[in-house]
Structure 1
Amino acid sequence: MPVREKFQFDLSELRKKVTELGIFANEALRYSIEALETQDINNALEIIDNDTKADVLYEEINDFSILLIAKQQPVAIDLRRIIVAIKIASDLERIADFAVNIAKSTIRIGKTELIDSIVPIREMFEKTSEMIQIAIEAFNEEDVTKANLVVDMDDAVDDYYGQIIKQLLHSSQDKLDTLPQITQLSFVCRYLERAADHTTNIAESVFYLIKGKHYEINS
Structure 2
Amino acid sequence: MGRPLNAYDRALMNLQENILQLGDYVADQVDKALAALKAQDCNLARLVVEGDNLADDLDYNIEMAALDLISLQQPRGEDLRTLATVMRVGKELERIGDYAVNIAEIAGRLARLGPYFKPLVDIPRMSDLARAMLRKSLQALVDRDLEAAREIVRADDAVDRLFEELYDELVGFMKQGPEYVDQASYLALVARYLERIADHAVNVAEMVVYRETGQRRAFKDYQGPQKTVLPGCDNKRTSSGNVEG
TM-score range, shorter chain: over 0.9
Matches within 5 A, 1:56-75: 56-75=57-76
| Alignment TM-score, normalising by the size of structure 2 | 0.86
Contact 2:210/2:218, CA 8 A, preserved across alignment: no
Within-5 A mapping of 1:126-165: 126-165=128-167
**Whole-angstrom distance in 2 between the partners of 1:80 and 1:59:** 19
Q: CA RMSD in A?
A: 1.5
**Residue 194 of structure 1 is aligned with which of 196, 199, 208?**
196
Instruction: Indicate the SS of the match to 2:119.
Output: coil
Say whether residues 1:26 and 2:32 are aligned partners.
no
Q: Deviations over 1:79-131 (max 9, x none)?
A: 10000000000000000000000011111112411112111100100000000
Partner of 2:127: 125
Q: Percent identity?
A: 30
* In 2, Cα distance between equivalents of 1:214 and 1:69: 20
Between the aligned partners of 1:101 and 1:12, the Cα distance in structure 2 is 32
Give the distance between the partners of 2:215 and 2:150, measured in 1 at CA: 15
Q: How does 1:50-89 map to 2 (within 5 A)?
A: 50-89=51-90
Match of 1:205 among 185, 201, 207: 207
| Structure 1 residues 41-94: Cα deviation after superposition (integer angstroms, max 9, x where no partner) | 111011000110100000000010011111211100001000000000000000
TM-score normalised per structure 1: 0.96
- 1:3 CA drift (Å): 9.5
Counterpart among 157, 166, 169 of residue 167 in structure 1: 169
CA contact (8 A) 1:77 1:209 kept: yes
Does the aligned pair in 2 maintain the 1:134–1:146 contact within 8 Å? yes
Q: What is the aligned residue count?
A: 218
Distance 1:4 1:49 in 2: 38
Farther-moved stretch of structure 1 (141-150 vs 55-64): 141-150
Higher normalized helix content (fraction of residues): 1
1:17 and 2:18 are equivalent in the alignment: yes
**Unaligned 5+ runs, structure 2:** 222-245
Larger Rg: 2
Report if aligned partners of 2:45, 2:107 keep a CA contact under 8 Å in 1.
yes
Which amino acid letter does the alignment assign opposite residue 29 of structure 1? V
3-state SS in 1 of match to 2:117: coil
- The one-letter code of the counterpart of 1:103 is A
CA 1:186/1:218 → structure 2, altered by over 3 Å: closer, same or farther?
farther
Task: Report the secondary structure of 2:116's partner residue.
Answer: coil
The equivalent of 1:94 in structure 2 is: 95
2:120 partner letter:
I
Counterpart residue identity of residue 98, structure 1: Y
Structure having greater relative contact order (Cα 8 Å, sep ≥ 6): 1
* Residue 216 of structure 1, CA deviation: 5.2
In structure 2, C-alpha distance between the alignment counterparts of 1:177 and 1:91, rounded to whole Å: 37
- SS of the residue corresponding to residue 86 of structure 2 reads helix
How far apart, CA to CA, are the structure 2 residues paired with 1:165 and 1:28? 24
- Counterpart amino acid of 1:162? E
Q: Please list the CA deviations of residues 146-191 of structure 1 after superposition, one character each: whole Å capped at 9, or x if unmatched.
A: 1011111100110110111111111112232220111110000000
